[in-house]
Amino acid sequence: MLALQILIDGFAISSLYALGATGFTLIFGVSGVLNLSHGAIMVVAAVIAWAVAGNFGTGPYIGALAGVAASLVCAFVTYRVIVRPIQDSRAIPREEKEIFVLTGTLLWGIMLQEAIAYFFTNNPKTVRPLVEGVVMIAGVRTPWNEILTAGLSWAVIGLLWALVNRTRMGKRLLAASMNPRGLTLLGFEMSSIYLLVWMIYGVLAGIAGVLLGAFLGVSSDNAGTLTASAFSIVVLGGLGSVSGSLIAAYVVGYLETMTAYLVSPSIRTIPVLLLLVAVVYVRPQGLLGRR
């Protein structure tokens, strides 16, 4: 009974972690950027979805769409206004671009977070779930919304997989992550590929944010934690490895759930932190990372 409960609850939260981290790792894989405004973008998506659905009475679907659109806009701005100018800048030495991108996206994340807090206060919000009610799965009472969250996360991840592996555009993307120089030599414009990745990222982060808002609820104060959690999952899985991130998301999700059930809910994040330290020391390239 308890085992089943852990299995079901862990699955839902892990799927959400997986979706949240996928976009993050994709960007790193293709363009080498760690986007520290990630959490803030997810928060924007959730809060906009909440506000549109609640204040304009449009219902959850239009609200969710608005949330994803907001995330897309934020992702576009992150790339065009912050990341790209830094990458193109001649004034910044190459070995320091990384810290500039980190600081720049961090500041942008703080701006988004403050703007949300200003317009909508920092009270946590919950997006109205697309479906209500519960269902019994082998004696475990499970909300439909939890099942939907897991299902949608996997559907989106599946679509992404199909896009990358089954379309011409996706293959180009894959190639870019493996060997950007080679692709440039073949005459492809890297900047259009980057733009594409950021757009995909915007959609992924937006969906993850809205689902998170419906499943657990979010506050603008969560932005930092969300970024840190995506960062941890991605490092655990191996920077830039999408499949590694997926596995890592499940490791983190289940480890947290098990700690909460079996040990104590007050230390739920600690085993993950310890695992992270251990992995980084023993196998810095992560579970599935390539070096």
Partner 1 sequence: MARNRTFLLVAPALIVMALLPLGVGGYILGLLTVAYYTAVFAMSWDLLFGFAGEVNFGPSFLIGVGAYVAALLNHYWGWPIPACLACGAVAAVIGGAVLAVPALRLSGPYFGLITLVAVLMLQNIIVLNAGITGGEIGIDIPDVLSIDETTNYFYAFGFMVVSGGILFGLSRSPVGLILQASGQDAIEAAALGFNVAKHKLTAFCISAFFSGLAGGMLIFYMGTASVGTVVDIAVGVNVIIAAVLGGRRTILGAAVGSIFLIGANEVLRPLGQLATFVVSAVALVVILFFPGGFLGNYLHTGGRE
Partner 2 sequence: MRLSLRNILLGGVFGIAAAAAPAQAADPIKIATIAETSAISGVGIPNGAKLAAEEINAAGGVNGRMIEIIEYDDHNSAADGVRAFQRAAQQDKVHAVIASYVSEVVLALEPWAGRLKMPMITPGAASNDITKRVHDDYDHMKYVFHGYLASTQIADAVCEGAKKLLVTDLHMKTAVVMSEDAAWTIPLDAEYLKCLPEIGIKVLDHIRLSPDTTDFTPIFNKIEGIKPDVIITGISHVGVQPTVQWQQQQVPIPMYGVSSQATNSTFWKDTNGATEGVIFNMVSAPDVAVTAKTIPFAKNYQKKYGNLPGYAAYTSYDDVYMWAEAIKKAGSTDPDKMVEAMERTDHVGTIGRITFLPKGDTFAHGMRIGEGYITGLMVQWQKGNPVTVWPPAAATGKMTFPSFIKLPQ
> What residues line the site for partner 1 (CB under 8 A)?
34, 81-82, 85-86, 89, 91-92, 95-96, 98-100, 102-104, 106-108, 110-111, 114-115, 117-118, 224, 228, 231-232, 235, 239, 266-267, 269-270, 273, 276-277, 280-281, 284
Q: Are 204 and 156 in contact (CB under 8 A)?
A: yes
| Least distance from partner 2 to the Cβ atom of residue 258, Å | 9
Residue closer to partner 1 by CB (options 54, 271) is: 271
Q: Fill in the DSSP letter of residue 186.
A: T
> Which residues, in sequence order, are CB contacts of 118 under 8 Å at separation 6+?
none
- Show the DSSP H helices in the chain as ranges: 2-31, 38-55, 59-77, 84-88, 97-120, 144-166, 168-178, 180-185, 190-215, 223-237, 242-258, 270-282
Beta bridge partners of 142: 135
Q: Please tell me the distance from the alpha carbon of residue 176 to that of residue 228, in angstroms, as a whole number.
A: 26
Beta bridge partners of 141: 136
The span of 1-9, 37-45, 81-89, 243-251 binding partner 2 (CB under 8 A) equals 1-9
Q: Are 3 and 243 in contact (CB under 8 A)?
A: no
- Establish if 269 lies at the interface with partner 2 (CB under 8 A): yes
Structure tokens at 209: 């944010």
* Run of H or E including 269: none
Binding mask 151-190 for partner 2 (x = CB under 8 A): ----------------------------------------
Binding mask 93-122 for partner 2 (x = CB under 8 A): ------------------------xx--xx
Q: Among all chains, which residue has been given the structure tokens 């993307």?
A: 173
Angle between helices 38-55 and 223-237 (to 10 degrees): 130
Beta bridge partners of 258: none
Find which of partner 1, partner 2, none residue 58 binds, CB within 5 to 8 Å per kind: none
Find which of partner 1, partner 2, none residue 232 binds, CB within 5 to 8 Å per kind: partner 1
Q: Are 151 and 211 in contact (CB under 8 A)?
A: no
Q: Please tell me the distance from the alpha carbon of residue 100 to that of residue 26, in angstroms, as a whole number.
A: 20
| Least distance from partner 1 to the Cβ atom of residue 63, Å | 25
Site for partner 2 in 198-227 (CB under 8 A): 216-217, 219, 222, 225
Find which of partner 1, partner 2, none residue 217 binds, CB within 5 to 8 Å per kind: partner 2
Applying CB under 8 A, among 91, 187, 266, 281 the residue interacting with partner 2 is 266
Residue closer to partner 1 by CB (options 68, 239) is: 239
| Least distance from partner 2 to the Cβ atom of residue 51, Å | 10
Site for partner 2 in 34-63 (CB under 8 A): 54
- The residues binding partner 2 (CB under 8 A) are 2, 5-6, 9, 12-13, 54, 117-118, 121-129, 132, 134, 141-143, 145-146, 216-217, 219, 222, 225, 256-257, 260-261, 264-269
